[in-house]
Amino acid sequence: MTTTQSALGDRAAPVAVTPDTVPAGCYWWTDPDGDLCLMPGCMARVQDPEAECTCDKLGARLARAEEKLRTKEAAEQYAGTWWDALTEAVRAHPNANQILADAHRRTGR
């Protein structure tokens, strides 16, 4: 499951981080010399440090896309199961050849 990264730090209040606590999204930090640095996590801030961070927005879009994909995959699996069951039912029917011929005629084949 995908979670979104909350915004961490800004230019006025940088986040204190260590190598073990580096966040995944954009954040401001101070180096050992006291210089303020931006670690961009999204393309918007790579190109312009003053731009609005899109880490949360991209994470939310990804979560929606993944959910939509899971829904479509489940529907496809259900349709496949239904198709297999229907095919077996038609083949087991005494008039299977007539049913298949009628289906081919209706679909223009």
List pLDDT tens digits, range 39-49.
777 777 777 87
Residue 1 lies in a domain: no
Residue 14 lies in a domain: no
pLDDT of residue 88: 94
The DSSP element (H or E) to which 78 belongs, if any, is helix 55-92
- Overall domain count for the chain: 1
Q: How confident is the model at residue 97 (pLDDT cuts 50, 70, 90)?
A: very high
**Mean pLDDT for the chain?**
79
Residue 38 lies in a domain: yes
Sort 40 into a burial class: Cβ within 10 Å, 0-12 / 13-18 / 19+: middle
Residue 81 lies in a domain: yes
Domain housing 33: 27-106
